[in-house]
Structures are given as C-alpha cells and as structure tokens.
Amino acid sequence: MAKAFDLKDDSVVVVIGSGAGGGTLSNELAQRGINVVCLEAGPRLDITDIVNDNATMFSRLSWLDKRIGTGDLNAALPLWVCKTVGGTTVHWAGASLRFQEHEFRARTVYGNIPGTNLLDWPITLQELEPFYTRAEDKLGVTGTHNIPRLPGNNNFKVMAAGAKRVGYTQVHTGNMAINAEARDGRPACRQIGFCMSGCAIGAKWSTLYTEIPKAESTGHFELRPDSMVVKINHDASGKVTGVVYADKSGALQEQKARVVCVAGNSVETPRLLLNSQSSKFPNGLANSSGQVGRNYMRHMTGTVYAIMPGRVNFDRGTQMAGIIKDESRHDPSRGFAGGYEMETLPGFGLAGVASNTIAGAWGPEYAKVIEMYDHFAGMWLVGEDLPQVGNGVTLHATDKDQHGMPVPVVHFKDHTNDIAMRNHAYKAGTAVYQSLGATQVFELPPFPSTHNMGTCRQSDKAQDGVCNKYGQAHDVANLFISDGSQFTTGGAENPTLTIVALAIRQAEYLVNQLSRKEM
Amino acid sequence: MMAKAPNRREFLCSTGSVAAGLATSGSVVFAPDYSWALSPTAIDAHTAQTLLVMARQLFPHDRLGDQYYAAVVDAVDKQAASDAALRKLVAEGVARLDGARGIRWVELSNGARSAVLKTVEASEFFSTMRTATINNLYGNPLVYRFFGFEGSSVEHGGYINRGFDDIGWLPNS
C-alpha cells in the first residue's frame, strides 16, 4: 500500500532519485520502518511501456534536458543516462562486478601520477564484502551464490573462441543481474536482446519493478515521479531541513525532511549541491573542500566491432553476457595504471551500427560495410579512468533550464593514462577477432558516458572530499550522497553493483543513527 | 542470341543511382514505372528529388528500391512543415549543390555528384541529411530486415528458442 506524506512532515527521509542508489536506499530504509519520500525527476513507466525499439526507448527513457559537454564531451548528448522512475537501472546492461582489492587503494598502489587527483577510498574491499554479498543476492547476480550463469549467445561465442586463441583464460558469460532461472518474482531471460532499451519482461534487475514496489508495500514509502528537486534548504545551524522541487505542473513545492539523501547521478547530484548555495554555504552545500563537482570519472571506454567470416547476428540475446577479465589486473608493464574489462556489446540496431561504426562515413564502400551487418561481432572495453581535479560539473552562468535552474556544464578530458589504456584495449580487442579471421575491424570512440562517478567523493579527511565512508557529507550531518558520485575512484568494473552495495551499507548506518536519535 | 537490351530501370540501376532518373511533375516525384510517388508539401519537387538522390548517394544499396529512400525525404518533408529553420537549411543546401558545377546536381554524373558532396561534408545540411537518412532508412523495419537485423523479438518469445546461439562456423580450437 503506497503511502502519502504531508509536505510539512519533517520526520521523513527524502531520497532524491530512484535508480540504483536512490531506489535501493529507499527500499532498505522502508523495510526497516523508516518513512521515505522519494522524489524522481522523471515519469513512472509501466513495464508494458518497454518495447523492443531503440529509438522509441531512447526518447522515452533518456535524460534529454540541456547539458553542455566540453573537452572530450563536446557532443549533442554528452551523457547517456535516464530520467525515469528506476533511473539508469532501466537502461543498464546488468553487468555486476565487484571492485578488486587494490582498486580501493588506487593512490597507494598506482602512486603519484602527475595530473591526477588520486585518493584511496576510506573503506576497504573487506569492509564492503558483506554488502557486496547482500547486493548480489538482491540483484540475483549470475555466477555468485550458486546462481547459474546465463547461456552464451553467438556474440559471446565469437568472443570466447577468439579469447581462447589469443590465450585469455578468464572468460565466461559474466556476473549479470539478469535471471538465468526465475528468481525473486522475476522470470528467466528469454534472450530477447534490447537489454539497454529496458527489459520488456523484467528478467533484468531494475528498481522500477523491484525495489520501488517492494518499498511501496511496506507502507513507509511514497514515490513522487515528475518531481525535479532544484534546491536543498538548511537552517541556521547548517542542518538540512527540506527540499524544493518542481512538481509535474512546474509549481514549486517544499518537502520537509529530517535527512536528505542525494542520488541524482554524477551530474545532477553536484549540480543540486552547487545550486543550493547560501550565505552560510557560499560555494554550494557541503562544499567546504571545494571538491563538489570535481574528479568526474566516466570510465575509459571504447568499442571494437569486427566483420567476421560467418554470420553472427550479434543483436540476438543478452547484450552484455560475456566477459574477458584477463586485462582487468593492475600491471604497469602494459604502460598504464589500472585495468580494463572486455564485455560483449552488440550494435543498437542497424541504424546504430550505421551511425557509429565509422563516425561521419558515407558512400559505396561504407554501404558495403553496413551490408555485412549480420556478420558483425562486437565488444565494449571498459576500464579505470583516473580522477582529475579539472574534470567535473559546474553551473552555467546564464543558461537556465525549464525550472530556472542553471544548466550543468560537464567537462572531461582524457588523462594520458586513459589514452594509453584505450589504445592497449583496442589492440587486445582487435587481436581477439583477427585470431578468427575477421575481415575488417573497427575501433569506435567512447559513446556518450553511461558510467558516471566521483563528483562528490568519499574521503577520510574532510579537506579531500565531500563525504565520509558512509556517504555522509563531511559538512552536513543529515545530508548523504547515495549514488556513484561518492566513488573515490572508479575501478575497472561497471559501477552499479558497488552503488547498490554502498546504498545497503548506508541504509544500515542511517537506521542506526536514527534509532540512536543522532540525527 | 542477342542479349536483351536493358530497360530504362535496369539501365539506371547500372549507373549506380536509380533515383537520378526519377521524373518530376508539378510538386510530385514519380518512380520511372509510376509504382510509387512522393508528394512533398513543405519542400518543392526539385528539392525532394535532390534529397532523394542524395539519400541514395550517401548509402547506396542495390538491394533497396527507391521507395525506401523516398521515405527519408518524406520524413524530412514532414519535419520541415513545422520547422522553418530546416526548410531554410534544406533550400540553401540544395542551392549550394546545384551551384557547384553550373548544372543541377541531380543531372551530374554519379562521380561528379559524389565529388560535390565531398566538398559540403562539413556543412550542417550534409550532417542533417546524413543523420536523417540513417534514422529513416536503416531505422525502417522494411529495410533493416534486408540486412539481417530482425527488430523486435519479445512478441516472438525472444531468441531463446530461435537461434541466439546457433553459430555454426566457429573453429573448435
């Protein structure tokens, strides 16, 4: 039974965002009897709104409010994230990997790399392990806790055969939050394809049809879709007291709160803090360190497509159920710090392949490439990029959105380490396909960023970051960062599992704090 | 035995561009065999014919009839009806193509048309038309099936029993 809370009810925890961080946190709190109001900027879709059409779902799910990308993000769409209930868990591919032990100690292990703002996490893998376990159980991650792996599709079989030929050994269908067998009310995957347009049968974990309805059934949770938070208010002591949001009609409302948790993804989270500046917090809320909006990371990414000697039909089946892990280690002898994963990735339909395979290409030769569509194989390369103080989110001085909120400017430039890693990864991916006689191989530059991290990072010392190891703001005790923004560094792994593990851990911390009336 | 003389359509196909042979009459562009026609409302017939030829020139596929390229022009025309900036962009783009060699661009040889297109590659007109062609040609279910993209699968139960792992040519080692 969904609940409705009064705007003046200052006993509620307000969670901003309903994706991997916000949706999970909301449910974890509600399950423990904490009253939660979740404000989601996007609309609430039903699973029947999810169709197998890339273009339709792109416009239905994507965050298309104006964002200005600069540096390497100078594109019409700098980021590809979602504005919908469930957030980017509707769009994500489902890859659920734990960070490696050394990735929590990147500054110590990688050393002082010029141009970076590296820092060790204030937590260790050991501390997070119990929460990774709970996260894997919640998501039903294949290959963990005796949950069977998915069967491999054609695109995986090509990658695996090539991997074997070049000598890779850690190759399987991944750790996926997609059911191989029915589990927790979700059906088994039917190898539909289109995972990233939303799973039309709900075999893939998304907060849209897991955490959100589960939270609603507790009677301690209210979801307000179409509610864009524009400001967080505070009192004279510096504690936050509520949030101002634009409702569906555009009218501004204030919801009172005893605790505010921000999970708007790594652009909107710092944007909101920066826009909540006041005479007490002139540089933005929780920003005494000056680190709000800084150290934006998006992962080193790239894609390799290859035309194979036979038919592949790479769009058939689970899109990212396939991984080569051998390159994910930290091995500076390769010429860069950190590592990367190689994961299967098909095209986004024929139109996607035509627009992405060679940017800007046209004419008879390129038409012949497109005619080989059913012979394409593809993989995504995703690795650790390093935090840089100049990469980040700022507010545009004059340009405002439909709610009068300054448009975010997102700046990103690759570090030389990112470039060296990408070049290594392109060669490695190419070798996999060439070992099987690929007739043509294409190296595609990064797509609009889907992994966004680090703009409100965790730090041991208040001067180095925005929040502590529980995501609690150093400057404001009842303000929490609850999404990938809190990542101190990015690791090589797709971030969702870590976001979920941190949200479960944060919920436990919050429940303890609230029960001890420390907030 | 004499080889059969090519008919008009086959001849035009062999030049690498069927669309260049299309007839216009008033505001309508006709297929050579009158099997279909394009009746733009926001752009004139010459502009429509030029965009049609351009769409094929960008992504020429012998396996596709002109009606699929006409769908691109139709989409541009529909958008142009409510988008004055697009109408202007298209009109100026076509004028630039026509002005390049002193005769109308659609009347140039295949090679000359490509050479002229190459000179406008960096223009907004070109990138707009390229994107419109990709979306409305390759995004058309009647087209993408020619290329082995099978489109929506959920209504068929996905590929779990329809060949998601049916690859047969991979080596055993």
Tens-place pLDDT, residues B51-81: 999 999 999 999 999 999 999 999 999 999 9
What are the structure tokens assigned to B6, written together?
């090519």
What is the spatial distance between Cα A10 and Cα A27, in angstroms, rounded to a whole number?
Answer: 19
**Which are the contacts of A254, defined by CB distance < 8 A and separation ≥ 6?**
A7, A233, A242, A243, A244, A245
Residue A386 has pLDDT above 90, yes or no: yes
Q: Contact A190/B138, CB-based, under 8 Å? A: no
Q: How many CA atoms lie within 13 A of B138 on its CB side?
A: 29
Among all residues of chain B, which has the CA nearest to that of A317?
B164
Residue B15 has pLDDT above 50, yes or no: no
Q: Contact A351/B130, CB-based, under 8 Å? A: no
Q: Are A6 and A14 in contact (CB under 8 A)?
A: no
* DSSP character at residue A261: E
Q: How many CA atoms lie within 13 A of B33 on its CB side?
A: 10
Q: What is the pLDDT of residues A284-319, one digit of tens each?
A: 999 999 999 999 999 999 999 999 999 999 999 999
What is the spatial distance between Cα A449 and Cα A93, in angstroms, rounded to a whole number?
Answer: 14
What are the structure tokens assigned to A309, written together?
């000697």
Which residue, among A407, A421, A396, has the nearest Cα to A490 in the 3D structure?
A421
Among all residues of chain B, which has the CA nearest to that of A351?
B138
What is the spatial distance between Cα A15 and Cα A459, in angstroms, rounded to a whole number?
Answer: 22
Q: What are phi and psi of A411, to 5 degrees?
A: -110, 135
Determine the pLDDT at residue B14.
36
What is the β-pairing status of strands A300-307 and A440-444? antiparallel
Would you say how long chain A is, in residues? 519
Amino acid at B67: Q
- Tell me the ipTM for this assembly: 0.94
Q: Are A502 and A467 in contact (CB under 8 A)?
A: no
Q: Contact A374/B58, CB-based, under 8 Å? A: no
The pLDDT confidence band at residue A151, using thresholds 50, 70 and 90, is very high
Residue A495 has pLDDT above 60, yes or no: yes
Chain B residues with CB-CB distance to A364 below 8 A: 16, 60
Q: What is the pLDDT of residues A21-79, one digit of tens each?
A: 999 999 999 999 999 999 999 999 999 999 999 999 999 999 999 999 999 998 889 99
Which residue, among B56, B165, B68, has the nearest Cα to B105 in the 3D structure?
B56
Q: How many CA atoms lie within 13 A of B54 on its CB side?
A: 31
Which residue, among A369, A228, A410, has the nearest Cα to B59 in the 3D structure?
A369
Q: What is the pLDDT of residues B103-127, one digit of tens each?
A: 999 999 999 999 999 999 999 999 9
* DSSP character at residue A444: E
The pLDDT confidence band at residue B38, using thresholds 50, 70 and 90, is confident
Q: Contact B164/A316, CB-based, under 8 Å? A: yes
The pLDDT confidence band at residue B29, using thresholds 50, 70 and 90, is confident
Q: What are phi and psi of A397, to 5 degrees?
A: -65, -35
Determine the pLDDT at residue A420.
98
Determine the pLDDT at residue B25.
67
Q: Contact B149/A373, CB-based, under 8 Å? A: yes
Euclidean distance between the first and the last CA atom of chain B, given in angstroms as a whole number: 53
Chain A: give the shortest CA distance to residue B1, in Å: 34
Which residue is it, tokens 């009839």?
A: B65
Q: Are A88 and A20 in contact (CB under 8 A)?
A: yes
Determine the pLDDT at residue B8.
38
User: Can you list the pairs that B114-123 forms with residues at least 24 positions away whose Cβ atoms lie under 8 Å?
Assistant: B114/A363, B114/B57, B117/A362, B117/B54, B117/B57, B117/B58, B120/B93, B120/B96, B121/A360, B123/B93, B123/B96
Partners of B89 in the beta sheet?
none
Q: What is the pLDDT of residues A77-119, one digit of tens each?
A: 999 999 999 999 999 999 999 999 999 999 999 999 999 999 9
Question: How many other CB atoms are there within 10 angstroms of residue A334's CB atom?
Answer: 17
Residue B34 has pLDDT above 70, yes or no: no
Q: Contact A191/B164, CB-based, under 8 Å? A: yes
Residue A192 has pLDDT above 70, yes or no: yes
Minimum-distance CB partner of A351 among B138, B163, B170? B138
Specify burial of residue B85 (Cβ count, 10 A radius: 0-12, 13-18, 19+): exposed
Partners of A232 in the beta sheet?
A243
Q: What are phi and psi of A114, to 5 degrees?
A: -55, 140
Question: How many other CB atoms are there within 10 angstroms of residue A179's CB atom?
Answer: 26
Chain B residues with CB-CB distance to A355 below 8 A: 131, 134
The proportion of chain A whose per-residue pLDDT surpasses 70, expressed as a percent, equals 100
Q: Are A322 and A343 in contact (CB under 8 A)?
A: yes
Question: For an interface test with B, which of A204, A350, A369 has the most B Cβ atoms less than 10 Å from its Cβ?
Answer: A350
Which residue is it, tokens 């012949």?
A: A368
* DSSP character at residue A489: S
Three-class DSSP category at A122: coil
Q: Contact A191/B160, CB-based, under 8 Å? A: yes
Residue B17 has pLDDT above 60, yes or no: no
How far are the Cα atoms of A156, A158, A161, A493, B93 from residue B173, in angstroms, in the given order? 15, 12, 7, 29, 54
Q: What are phi and psi of A16, to 5 degrees?
A: -105, 110
Determine the pLDDT at residue B20.
57
Helix and strand numbers (H, E) in chain A are 11, 17
Residue B22 has pLDDT above 80, yes or no: no
* DSSP character at residue A82: B
Partners of A197 in the beta sheet?
none
Determine the pLDDT at residue B2.
38
Q: What is the pLDDT of residues A206-260, one digit of tens each?
A: 999 999 999 999 999 999 999 999 999 999 999 999 999 999 999 999 999 999 9
Q: What are phi and psi of A273, to 5 degrees?
A: -65, -45
Residue B18 has pLDDT above 60, yes or no: no
* DSSP character at residue A178: B
Select the more confidently predicted residue: B31 or A19: A19
Compute the count of residue pairs across chains A and B with CB atoms less than 8 Å apart.
Answer: 130
3-state secondary structure A337-393: CCCEEEEECCCCHHHHHHHHCCCCCCCHHHHHHHHCHHHEEEEEEEECCCCCCCCEE
What are the structure tokens assigned to A127, written together?
């501390």
What is the β-pairing status of strands A479-481 and B23-25? unpaired
Determine the pLDDT at residue A358.
97
What is the spatial distance between Cα A136 and Cα A114, in angstroms, rounded to a whole number?
Answer: 36
Average model confidence (pLDDT) across chain A: 97
Select the more confidently predicted residue: B33 or A132: A132
| DSSP class per residue in A144-166 | STTPPPPPP-HHHHHHHHHHHHH
Residue A166 has pLDDT above 50, yes or no: yes
Q: Are A483 and A272 in contact (CB under 8 A)?
A: no
Which residue, among A205, A179, A272, has the nearest Cα to A27 in the 3D structure?
A205
